Amino acid sequence: MNTAIYNYLIPTFEPKYTTKYAHKSSELRSVVKSIRSQTQSSPVYLLNFTNKKQSYVLGVKEASMKLEESLNVLTDDSESALFSQKKAHSSDPEQVSAELLDAENEQLPSAFSIRVKQLANAQVNEGKVFYDTGKGLDAGSYQFKVTVNDVGYDFQYNIRKDANHREVIEGLAGFITKAKIGLLAEPYSSAEGKIGMRIESLTLGTSNGYDSFSLEDKTTDRRGIVSYYGLDRVAVKPKNAVFELNGTEKSSTANEFTLGNAVKVTLHKASEEEASVDYRPNSALILEGVRDFVSNYNELIGHSIAYARETDVPSKLLREMNGLMEPYKNELESYGMTFDEDGFLGIDESLAADAVESGEMQDMFRADSPMVLRLKAKSVAVKINPMEYIDKRVVSYPDTSKPPRGYSYISSLYSGLLFNSYC
């Protein structure tokens, strides 16, 4: 065996093994027993080991290991298994959506109903409007106070000589926003081509039933900047969200809240109808695992088809895989997985998602399902002895009249298998 070809080719296969199913002493013992049994019962072959054959042998070995790994992920029945993953589902996502934060949390509420009666909104002040180039207040220093959620902030703003309304409003808006006190101030234009200032609180609702913020002049020797530009004029009052949770009216200062530290609920619009929130299989995560299975299965098929075309010899492995999957084609098709004429497996995302939601996909990939058992057995056989699937000449058969003999790792002389990836 030319090990250089293995070292050259192995990076191209990008194995995706995880430590969850690797490095177990029991697996090592199983591999050694399989190799010993293979060695003791197999004939001695004469091989013309070309680069194409080496590439094919290594390719199907890697693909079979990936296929077994993806099956292990899908058939895992632990609490953290793929099919155990849940998501929160809303019957009316336009009214309310939900995100499951911690499915294992003891405070996770059971399925619940919710109806949004009113969304929370921020307070908005809109000042008076003036022509851009007009001039108003005299040059000088102007003091004012801004109170946000009962916390007061003192400001002082200087107006230079000959500053027009646009310059004052733009400068003052930036001054307030950059103070980072929970307000966003910005100029706005009216239909008449005039300019004013709009101030909005960055938080929604109100904790005390009053305005979220207020502005007042502190300048005493002249007209104040707040009253002149109308910065204290409330255009939109702050409101809390109001909703019914399982028929009981609740309120929130925001349109997003958490139930039991386990479910994040987001309110989107008011409605006259109730929405129900329950928990369903996380189809996105599960479909990712199914796609991984399909990809690894097709990789195994692809190596077999390519080798058959290069050597003009029908693929034994392809024939066996087609025969293995034939009894399950109709069932797989109902779950959105179909085979093309070459034997490649395709997936219809919509049908597959429906099968996940109904639980049928999980039944298909049970650890004890006939399809899974046959696929796992075949993947193990291929990874242990991929040399079975290339043409070779028998030199001699084992003498069955005598006790079997053979060294555990003798098959590496034929297959070049290095088992460090999974034992």
- Which pLDDT tens digit goes with each residue over 285-317? 999 999 999 999 999 999 999 988 988 888 999
Predicted confidence band of residue 347 (pLDDT cuts 50, 70, 90): very high
Looking at the fold, whether 129 and 172 belong to one and the same domain comes out as yes
Give me the pLDDT at residue 122, please. Answer: 96
Looking at the fold, whether 275 and 217 belong to one and the same domain comes out as no
402 within domain boundaries: yes
Distance, in Å, from the CA atom of 256 to the CA atom of 264, rounded to the nearest integer, reads 7
CATH code of residue 197: 2.60.40
Give me the pLDDT at residue 75, please. Answer: 92
Give me the pLDDT at residue 409, please. Answer: 46
Percent of the chain with pLDDT over 70: 85
Domain that holds residue 174: 124-236
Handedness of CA 154, 159, 160, 163 (dihedral sign): positive
Give me the pLDDT at residue 303, please. Answer: 93
State the burial class of residue 309 (Cβ atoms within 10 Å of its Cβ: 0-12, 13-18, 19+): exposed
- Which pLDDT tens digit goes with each residue over 226-266? 999 999 999 999 999 999 999 999 999 999 999 988 999 99
The residue-averaged pLDDT of 324-343 equals: 92
| Cα separation values, 197 from 158, 159, 187, Å | 17, 16, 4
Q: Which residues lie closer than 8 Å to 299 by C-beta, 6 or more apart?
A: 63, 66, 67
- Which pLDDT tens digit goes with each residue over 14-55? 544 444 545 567 766 777 677 777 666 677 666 677 788 888
207 within domain boundaries: yes
Looking at the fold, whether 290 and 217 belong to one and the same domain comes out as no
Give me the pLDDT at residue 404, please. Answer: 66
Give me the pLDDT at residue 106, please. Answer: 79
Give me the pLDDT at residue 375, please. Answer: 95
Distance, in Å, from the CA atom of 74 to the CA atom of 22, rounded to the nearest integer, reads 16
- Which pLDDT tens digit goes with each residue over 131-185? 998 988 999 999 999 999 989 999 999 999 989 999 999 999 999 999 999 999 9
- Which pLDDT tens digit goes with each residue over 175-228? 999 999 999 999 999 878 899 999 999 999 998 888 999 999 998 888 999 999
406 within domain boundaries: yes
CB atoms closer than 10 angstroms to residue 386? 24
Asked if residue 12 has pLDDT above 80, the reply is no
Q: Which of 236, 271, 299 is the last residue of a domain?
A: 236
Give me the pLDDT at residue 48, please. Answer: 73
182 within domain boundaries: yes
Looking at the fold, whether 217 and 96 belong to one and the same domain comes out as no
* Angle (nearest 5°) at CA 410 between 408 and 414: 145
32 three-class SS: helix
State the burial class of residue 241 (Cβ atoms within 10 Å of its Cβ: 0-12, 13-18, 19+): buried
Element (H, E) at 130: strand 130-131
Looking at the fold, whether 164 and 309 belong to one and the same domain comes out as no
Query: Which residue in the block uniquely carries the two structure tokens 């680069």?
Result: 51
Average pLDDT over the chain reads 86
Buried b (16+ CB within 10 A) or exposed e, 24-36: eeeeeeebeebbb
Give me the sheet containing 256-259, strands edge to edge.
96-100, 263-267, 256-259
Asked if residue 422 has pLDDT above 60, the reply is no
Q: What is the pTM of this model?
A: 0.68
